[in-house]
Amino acid sequence: MSEERIVETHSAPGWQLPAIVVLGLIAIGGLGFGWNASSKLDSTQQAMTTELKTAEQSVQQDMSSLKDRIAQDEKANTDLKGDLRTVTDKLKITQGQLKKARVESTKLNDETVQKITELDTSVKGELATKATTDDVKTVDTKVVGVKTDLDKTREDLSLARSEMGTLIARNHDEIDFLRRQGERDYIEFAIAGKNKPQKVGNVTVELKGVNEKRNQFNIAMTVEDKRFEKKSRALNEPIFFYTSGTHLPEEIVINKVGKDQISGYVSIPKANAQPQATSAASKSGK
């Protein structure tokens, strides 16, 4: 009887191959994911390193700037301390000088008072021994007279003179002063409004215009039927004119201007009144 060989054939299950493929794919995917994650990690690490370096540089710059500022502040503080020390030293010197000046001033005042007292005592003693009461009264009278003359001279010097030698008054008080001298008559006037003739003494005055900024004025004057205009005349500038039968000029002075108004005076020599009075008397006699 022939031997029968029984050969056992083992066949692999059908699910193993697909499982291997799936596992391979998963392994490949895992490797890809790992490589991607590693790349991202490297990029992130590089970015962080760059940012850290930038921040470090910025901090170093800020620290350097801060150090410079601190150095400048310390230098300024040192300079201020030096200036303060200098000012303090000068102030001490000034206070010492001031104190010394006060002491010297007090000393001088005391010496001055003492000298004045001694002089007053000496003068009174001399007056008591050398002068009688009448002599003192005479001296007082002379002193008053001299003071009056000095006051008059002082007022004369303060007044301006025209080319004719007459004193020019700039206000009412000065007009009164000149009136008291008795050499001329003074007629004060004021004109408000243009083109309004006004009789003042021997002249008729008419305002034509005023320049307040330059203190100038324009007027028309009528003297014995003769009319003439004076333009761009200044304050306190005398305008002279003559009347018939006189040798001394009369004058008109404007010493104040305003909007369409002027004020001043007409000055008439008293010598001018005599011929006119004589002429009037001769006419009445006829």
Name the pLDDT band for 59 (thresholds 50, 70, 90): confident
Name the pLDDT band for 186 (thresholds 50, 70, 90): very high
Name the pLDDT band for 38 (thresholds 50, 70, 90): confident
Residue of 237 and 1 predicted with greater confidence = 237
**Average model confidence (pLDDT) across the chain:** 76
Name the pLDDT band for 221 (thresholds 50, 70, 90): very high
Residue 286 confidence (pLDDT) above 50: no
* CA separation for the pair 144, 148 (Å, rounded): 6
Q: What is the pLDDT of residue 280?
A: 37
Residue of 208 and 93 predicted with greater confidence = 208
* CA separation for the pair 27, 23 (Å, rounded): 6
Q: What is the pLDDT of residue 250?
A: 93
Share of the chain above pLDDT 70, in %: 66
Name the pLDDT band for 2 (thresholds 50, 70, 90): very low
Contact predicate 165/269, CB 8 Å? no
Other Cβ atoms closer than 10 A to 246: 17
In the Cβ-directed half-sphere of 245, how many Cα atoms lie within 13 Å? 12
Contact predicate 238/165, CB 8 Å? no
Residue of 137 and 272 predicted with greater confidence = 272
Residue 152 confidence (pLDDT) above 80: no
Read off the pLDDT of residues 120-149 as tens digits, 9 standing for 90 and up: 677 667 666 665 555 555 655 654 554 555
